[in-house]
Structure 1
Amino acid sequence: MSFNPFASFGWPMDPSHRFETSWLLPPAILAAVRALFSIYIFVTLIFVIVWDCEHVSLGGCAAAGDQFSYFTVLTYWGLAFYFAVAAVHTATYALTGTALLDRFPRVLQHLHALFYSTITVFPFVVTAVYWGKLYAGPWFPVVFDAWRNVSQHAMNSGFALFEVVVARTVPQPWVHIAGLIVLLALYLALAYITRATKGFYVYSFLDPAQSGGAGLIAAYVFGIAVGCALIFALVQGLIWVRRWITEAKLGKEGKFAHADRQAVDIEMVQPSKA
């Protein structure tokens, strides 16, 4: 199976609707699953805010507002909005054979591709940093705390893995690494703005008193940036392997909308041009 060298750069941009289709699920089912994921994540986020507001011992609504300084929470909101947007694009494709994304300006289409890269990389970063660095045990005695942390620090990677394995996406442009690093840098700025305005460090390894000094903080930050790039490369490899197994070996070019005859023809005649 040959590959189009321009496919990763979006020229042309997603002609066979890889962002809206799956090799396994029909478009309507894929849209429903994405919508279900979005609803679960939004409900989790809102319930956590309400819970914190109702429990003064946990800091009340002030603590709920502080959540927006945490990378975990921001990436979880990112997942919620991605799945909501992806569900709309997939549903419109399933109904009409043309996705809403097709009508967007090219720059927004490429931003959607970058959005995809963020939600298939950052959740794995969050999971690795939390369970590898921040979690010290014992297990949470309060069921709510266990559910919240499993949802935000474990299920988040499950949602990301779904998009890597089940969707028909191709490996994304390597320049997305630069975009991911810029977003991490912007978050680092937010973390120190939070320290300056609210008086606390969102993560202990950003505190010189706890981390061992500025040198170790720089090492942690650099390590996370390198880890992010490595995870992006791993995701790229997983997507390539998934395409090789499902398309080249199993012949599962994808499940398309009934109204989308053109995409079916593209995949049957020239499967590499997508």
Structure 2
Amino acid sequence: TSESQGTKQHVSTLSLTTLFRVYQTTDDKHHFETSWILPPVILASLRGLISLYIFTSIFIFWGWYGTHDNLSSIGRSFSYFTWLSYWGIGFYMLFAAIHTACYARTGRSALFDRWPRAFRVLHSLLYVTVTTYPFLVKAVFWAVIFTPPWPTKTFNGWQNVSQHGLNSVYVLLEIILPATAPHPFIAIPFLLFILLLYHCIAYITHETEGWYRYSFLDAGSHGQKSKLVVAYCFGILAAVLVFFVISCALVQLRCRLTHGRNMRARRDPLRAHDAFIGFVGRDEQSNEMKTVSGLEAAMGRFSSSGGNCLVR
């Protein structure tokens, strides 16, 4: 019996929910729904506005394609990693805004508490992707794909800024402002697997439509560029690992500077508890400062008396 219990405990420690740091049935930390500096209502509004801008810009892009004899580009957009990443940011901001708004209204994780813990795992993985992939998109576009000069058409310039410039701004806001915990390293295999899936999509698109979405994936008609393609793939693999580490380090730095503080909703039952702990901490710190000041004064008198403790 003890062996079976030990085996069950060992298996539970290796579950995805544990590896993604989703331990409890209910979410009382509210990392994804709170900020260390913004109230939940403002955080939800900011995320909602970013999501609204992303989806609005996407439909404007599609409208432009449809009215300028480029209707096929709408379907082809789903074969670009840039577009898929842009969609991912939009959906994450939408989901995060809904979760944060529900928390601001009820004081608890209304949706996370009802759903299985697997949904929190998926939300955590989605957060890792939207704080890692946009950096990769930005680096590959400006270092490999973009060729000067800057587009003369205002529409093309706006699209480039939205998808290859503002995307990293959204990522930095999502890294700096919320009270999210550092990335779990178990997310790395999933990041690489998603890139592998996209690699398959790129070559399926080539087989069905006869052209590559990104020229650096073209190995040539007889494979003469295969070594170059392999080098590009390993370079992208290394880049995504580097950006994952950078993103994780920035989150850890923010957690260290803010001491894990978060602004809870008014109806959160733990808000009063956090306020009490903060008050006690400040009171203890004040007492420690008074004690240190008293010791410094005593040492000063001791030194001025020449070390004679009997001198008054």
TM-score (norm 1): 0.89
SS of residue matched to 1:42: helix
Cross-structure match for 2:44: 31
Partner Cα distance (2:141, 2:253) in 1: 28
SS of residue matched to 2:245: helix
Cross-structure match for 1:265: 273
Q: Any conservation in 2 of the 1:9–1:172 contact (CA below 8 Å)?
A: no
Cross-structure match for 1:124: 135
- 1:93-143: CA deviations, max 9, x gaps? 000011222322111111110000000001110001001111111011000
Which consecutive unaligned segments of at least 5 residues does structure 2 have?
1-17, 279-312
What is the identity, as a one-letter code, of the residue corresponding to 1:201? Y
Q: Does 1:156 align with 2:167?
A: yes
Bigger shift: residues 30-39 or 61-70: 61-70
After TM superposition, list the pairs within 5 Å mapping 1:9-28 onto structure 2: 9-12=21-24, 14-28=27-41
Which consecutive unaligned segments of at least 5 residues does structure 1 have?
1-5
Instruction: Return closer, same or farther for 1:81/1:47 CA change in 2, 3 Å cut-off.
Output: same
Q: Any conservation in 2 of the 1:37–1:83 contact (CA below 8 Å)?
A: yes
How big is the shift at 1:265? 2.8
Cross-structure match for 2:243: 231
Instruction: Return closer, same or farther for 1:85/1:53 CA change in 2, 3 Å cut-off.
Output: same
Q: 2:147 aligns with which of 130, 136, 140?
A: 136
SS of residue matched to 1:36: helix
Instruction: Return closer, same or farther for 1:169/1:106 CA change in 2, 3 Å cut-off.
Output: same
How big is the shift at 1:15? 2.5
Partner Cα distance (1:215, 1:42) in 2: 38
Q: Any conservation in 2 of the 1:16–1:266 contact (CA below 8 Å)?
A: no
Bigger shift: residues 226-235 or 209-218: 209-218
Partner Cα distance (1:160, 1:213) in 2: 34
Instruction: Return closer, same or farther for 1:218/1:113 CA change in 2, 3 Å cut-off.
Output: same
Q: 1:65 aligns with which of 75, 81, 88?
A: 75
Q: 1:75 aligns with which of 75, 80, 85?
A: 85
Asked which structure has the greater CA Rg, the reply is: 2
SS of residue matched to 1:261: coil
Cross-structure match for 1:108: 119
Paired residues, number: 258
Structure of higher RCO (CA pairs closer than 8 Å, 6+ residues apart): 1
Q: 2:230 aligns with which of 218, 225, 244?
A: 218
Cross-structure match for 2:105: 95
Partner Cα distance (1:195, 1:8) in 2: 36
TM-score (norm 2): 0.78
Partner Cα distance (2:47, 2:88) in 1: 13
Q: Does 1:254 align with 2:262?
A: yes
CA RMSD of aligned residues (A): 2.0
How big is the shift at 1:183? 0.3
Q: 2:61 aligns with which of 39, 45, 48?
A: 48
Q: Percent identity?
A: 40
SS of residue matched to 2:179: coil
Instruction: Return closer, same or farther for 1:23/1:7 CA change in 2, 3 Å cut-off.
Output: farther
Bigger shift: residues 8-17 or 139-148: 8-17
